[in-house]
Structure 1
């Protein structure tokens, strides 16, 4: 898993970015991009943290720059996934099953009728 800290629209291209895990600096698994220029002459940059998620851990991306009055902290912590009701999927699956069964039944009936009439359904006369 990788957290991405995207710092955008800053000038001059000088930054101090620190990853924190539970408030403590992290140095392992850290990577960063070069300063990337923008058309408005400002810059943006990416910082990455590769980590193994844990329910107890929380992470922060701390950004320090001359243009900020105080360091900027962006927070991330693990969250329990929200269970969404599967009603729509169940209804669509049931509807597909019913349509498939109806198609099989109708097809079987048509084939049986065709065979009983003694005609080859593939052989057609002039239109």
Structure 2
């Protein structure tokens, strides 16, 4: 990843935003479209890359790899690679990542109650969701 110039105006603005609103820190770590979905899928336990790809079929390989690297760099995901051929790599939530469980659960509950799509599949997902 690209090195971040700590003295840039953007970094100063981010720092000021954080002091005014801590939600900006959360959005820096899990903001965007794919990161919460990846984290949500890892709540059920350790997964290999292909398992994640199958559970999020609309994500491109580039985006999945990029976001997994960012989540790992932010200390939310742990990547474990075994030195075998073919490569055996797993991803799991770190302690910090697991602390996001209530946040992700609240997001999922909110989606179920406000989506207007009270389907049985949604309800089943929420019943199966690890609390």
TM-score past 0.5 threshold: no
TM-score, normalising length: structure 2: 0.26
TM-score, normalising length: structure 1: 0.26
Larger helix proportion, structure 1 or 2?
2
Which of the two has higher C-alpha Rg? 1
